Amino acid sequence: MGKDTIANIITSIRNADMNKKKTVRITSTDISENIVKILLREGFIENVRKHEENNKSFLVSTLRHRRNREGRYINTLKRISRPGLRIYSNSQRIPRILGGMGLVILSTSRGIMTDREARLKKMGGEILCYIW
């Protein structure tokens, strides 16, 4: 059984958000750091700090919650490309989630970026996940 770090990140954030937890602890890898930076830049996460414990690095992320009755800021995180089935798209066919309100995270030859950045740079890549 292989490790799917992206699925672990998405599942950790989704579970913490559903249970209205304030912080999430994610194992620190290059991919997880890039994804968390995108979530921080897009406003889904308030704060990120690096934490070391027993020679292992973790990212401790503070989730953003709404103050209304539901309290959830992230409605859905969905893993698209997975180890058994990779999904690729060129720059013209990158999907728009909720008419541009959602976010698509892609892995391109120039790093991990959002759908808007990939369209501006006219680059395609592997579609990692959807967030809305």
Q: pLDDT: is 2 or 77 the higher one?
A: 77
Q: What pLDDT score does 65 carry?
A: 76
Q: What pLDDT score does 3 carry?
A: 84
pLDDT by residue (tens digit) across 44-61? 899 999 999 999 999 999
Angle at 30 between CA 53 and CA 105, to 5 degrees: 125
Specify the pTM.
0.89
Alpha-carbon torsion 1, 129, 119, 113, what sign? negative
Domains of the chain: 5-131 (3.30.1370.30)
pLDDT by residue (tens digit) across 10-57? 999 999 988 889 999 999 999 999 999 999 999 989 999 999 999 999
How many angstroms separate the Cα of 28 from the Cα of each of 50, 60, 61, 81, 104? 8, 9, 11, 20, 21
Q: pLDDT: is 67 or 26 the higher one?
A: 26
Read off the pLDDT band of 1 (50, 70, 90): very low
- Mean pLDDT for 65-89 is 81
